[in-house]
A and B are shown apart, each in its own frame.
Chain A
Amino acid sequence: AQSVAQPEDQVNVAEGNPLTVKCTYSVSGNPYLFWYVQYPNRGLQFLLKYITGDNLVKGSYGFEAEFNKSQTSFHLKKPSALVSDSALYFCAVRLTDRGSTLGRLYFGRGTQLTVWP
């Protein structure tokens, strides 16, 4: 079965400190990897993606993510956290095999990031 794990329900960091939100996955093939952010009472907003190439990808709002194929991980990082980064973060994986899943997106359960002043 395909699965995406975000092992931490909650991550708390002080403003100015680096942050990491973890994601690991267990899917077939070589998937596309995504991070989304959700602010209260809003839909999910795209942050960044990994398709192929350089293992470190950069995205919106100063976020970056590191892809590790051997560990099947795609951790979200930011060198210096802001209070405004406080939100719910979702890791998502899309299969690339042209089978019955037809490009379905699998989501982790989400990690609530709180950045305190």
Chain B
Amino acid sequence: NAGVTQTPKFQVLKTGQSMTLQCAQDMNHEYMSWYRQDPGMGLRLIHYSVGAGITDQGEVPNGYNVSRSTTEDFPLRLLSAAPSQTSVYFCASRYRSYSNQPQHFGDGTRLSIL
């Protein structure tokens, strides 16, 4: 039972490059979400999904795209990387959007944009 798996763990990009952060869960959770964590800012929601084929924007969606073709996977795409996107990115999942169960988090992707 792996939980939430994020790859890669570390990445360095140049400004303007694109990349995809991968997230997979094996718990059959309907709800998945992406956060970014910056010092003193807590966690801010980027995008979320309540099930396969359904995604929506969170608090800070600009510069990011998501898709949800399967229940298990929820990749986050940076379209044209900018230094302001240097951050630690966390993927999380829980059973359903209205469930009172806690979210499960991956160990994060540490992304630096030069």
Give A contacts to B, CB under 8 Å: 4, 9, 32, 34, 36, 41-46, 49, 51, 90, 94, 96, 98, 102-105, 107-110
Partner of A43, one of B4, B42, B58, B97: B4
> In the complex, which residue of chain A has the Cβ closest to the Cβ of B43?
A107
Residue of chain A at shortest CB distance from B103: A105
Choose one: B42, B56, B58, B104; the contact of A90 (CB below 8 Å). Answer: B42
Would you call B2 an interface residue if the criterion is a C-beta within 8 Å of the partner chain's C-beta atoms?
A: no
Residues in B whose Cβ lies below 8 Å from that of A103: 31, 96-99
Q: Given that A9-B40, A102-B50, A109-B42 are contacting pairs, would A43 and B56 also be in contact in the complex, using a CB cutoff of 8 Å?
A: no
A49 to B20, CA, bound (A): 33
**A-B residue pairs in contact (CB < 8 Å), sample of 26:** A9-B40, A32-B100, A36-B102, A36-B105, A41-B108, A42-B107, A43-B105, A44-B103, A44-B105, A46-B104, A51-B100, A90-B43, A98-B98, A102-B48, A102-B50, A102-B56, A102-B97, A103-B31, A103-B97, A103-B98, A103-B99, A105-B33, A105-B45, A107-B42, A108-B42, A110-B42
Residue B90 CB within 8 A of the other chain: yes
CA distance A4 to B104 in the complex (A): 20
CA distance A51 to B104 in the complex (A): 17
Contacting pair B97 A46 (CB below 8 A)? no
CB distance from B79 to the nearest CB of A (A): 24
